[in-house]
Amino acid sequence: MVTAASISATQSARRSTLFADYKELVKPRVTLMVMITAAAGFYLGCLRSGISPFNTQFLEAMIGMAVVTAGSGTLNQVIERRTDAMMPRTASRPMAAERISFAHGLILGMLCIVLGSAFLAVTTNLITSMLTLLTAISYVAIYTPLKRISMVATFVGAFPGALPPLIGWTAARGFIEWPAVALFAILFVWQFPHFEAIGWLYRADYAKAGIRVTAVAKPGGVATAAQALFYAVVMIPVSLWPVYLGTAGWIYGVIAIVLGLAYLWYTLKFVRITRDLPPAESRKIARDLLKISVIYLPLLLAAMMLNAQGRIFF
């Protein structure tokens, strides 16, 4: 018998499934990291202006960027619904598993990008709104389709990936300056060990779906390891650029060197993928590098913020 209670239970189950699907669509962990990097840019920009970073402009900029980032993640999954369905890591995503329809995902993603960018234009400034829109477009319309065409895609994807802290800076300052470019460079370089580890970890998945990451296009691991290693070495001088610019002090510099050496250490261990290791061991060293990459970045940015312009803490 269909009772009011059973109808209400079904509706509530549907609502919680939809909520869980929306959560998955916005890629919460990546979005959170994007917000952390943008917040760092905003914070440092405010200190450069000599104003407190704890203001309503901060909240407005974060909300606008989070909504656009969420929309970008959604449209990425709309476009990749077929390839996502081929890979165990992504097969249960709401678009891939067809729990959310094409039109539903498309409208939701577009709405988030348009409304988030408009919100930024009204509350923050035009350059921040335009750069955020450009970031979303380059991620969705250039990087995402390119993944199936060329391994250059990851290099291209590193541009939208690196823009959020620069955008955080423009939200505070209204224009692009050298410290913002330094933040962009740090993020840009950081991504290579991060995604080469992921590419190696999921190379079988990527090959199945026809996605041309380095580990698929050049099997054996030499090119994958060489790229990760090159950028992990470059990471150390690039992370010191804010010290040269006076954006952060020497204490940050020391911490950046220590963190950079740790990132380099795990990347050096990753180079062992080129040997004939048991698959479980090879996966472990790639997973360790991925983990260290997502620990390294917030720690580096936190050190930069705490020692901003040579001050200690706030």
Alpha-carbon gap, residue 192 to 216, rounded angstroms: 16
Which residue in the set 47, 61, 68, 78 belongs to the binding site for ligand FPP (CB under 6 A)?
68
Q: What SS3 state is found at 55?
A: coil
Q: How far is the CB of 201 from ligand HEM (least distance, A)?
A: 7
- Closest residue to ligand HEM, based on beta-carbon distance: 161
Q: How far is the CB of 214 from ligand FPP (least distance, A)?
A: 13
- Of 171, 166, 198, whose CA–CA distance to 185 is shortest? 166
Gyration radius of the chain's alpha carbons: 21
- Residue 285: phi, psi to the nearest 5? -70, -30
Q: Which residue has the tokens 């990451």?
A: 213
Going 246 to 249 to 250 to 253, the CA torsion angle's sign is negative
| Residue 188 interacting with ligand FPP (CB under 6 A) | no
- Of 84, 77, 92, 88, whose CA–CA distance to 204 is shortest? 88
Q: Which residue has the tokens 């970045």?
A: 297
| Residue 34 interacting with ligand FPP (CB under 6 A) | yes
Decide: 154 and 188 in contact? Cβ < 8 Å: no
| Residue 221 interacting with ligand FPP (CB under 6 A) | no
Q: How far is the CB of 2 from ligand HEM (least distance, A)?
A: 40
Q: Considering CB distances under 5 to 8 angstroms, the limit depending on partner class, which of ligand FPP, ligand HEM, none binds residue 242?
A: none
Give strand pairing partners of 230.
none
Q: Considering CB distances under 5 to 8 angstroms, the limit depending on partner class, which of ligand FPP, ligand HEM, none binds residue 139?
A: ligand FPP
Window 136-165: residues binding ligand FPP (CB under 6 A): 136, 139, 143, 157, 160-161, 164
What distance, in Å, lies between the first and last C-alpha atoms of the chain?
63
- Of 194, 198, 199, 197, whose CA–CA distance to 272 is shortest? 197
Instruction: Give whichever of 69 and 125 is closer to ligand FPP, judged by the CB atom.
Output: 69
Which residue in the set 131, 198, 211, 232 belongs to the binding site for ligand HEM (CB under 6 A)?
198
Instruction: Give whichever of 168 and 221 is closer to ligand HEM, judged by the CB atom.
Output: 168
- Closest residue to ligand FPP, based on beta-carbon distance: 157
Cα angle 276, 278, 283 (rounded to 5 degrees) comes to 105
Which residue in the set 74, 77, 154, 239 belongs to the binding site for ligand HEM (CB under 6 A)?
154
Decide: 37 and 163 in contact? Cβ < 8 Å: no
Amino acid at 293: S
Total residues interacting with ligand FPP, rule: CB under 6 A: 17
| Residue 195 interacting with ligand HEM (CB under 6 A) | yes
| Residue 185 interacting with ligand HEM (CB under 6 A) | no
Alpha-carbon gap, residue 55 to 51, rounded angstroms: 9
Q: How far is the CB of 93 from ligand HEM (least distance, A)?
A: 11
| Residue 41 interacting with ligand FPP (CB under 6 A) | no
| Residue 65 interacting with ligand FPP (CB under 6 A) | yes
| Residue 124 interacting with ligand FPP (CB under 6 A) | no
Which residue in the set 39, 61, 72, 166 belongs to the binding site for ligand FPP (CB under 6 A)?
72
- Of 10, 26, 211, whose CA–CA distance to 100 is shortest? 26
Decide: 47 and 308 in contact? Cβ < 8 Å: yes
Which residues here bind ligand FPP, judged by CB under 6 A?
A: 30, 34, 65, 68-69, 72, 76, 80, 132, 135-136, 139, 143, 157, 160-161, 164
Which residues here bind ligand HEM, judged by CB under 6 A?
A: 29-30, 33-34, 37, 89, 154, 157-158, 161, 191, 194-195, 198, 294
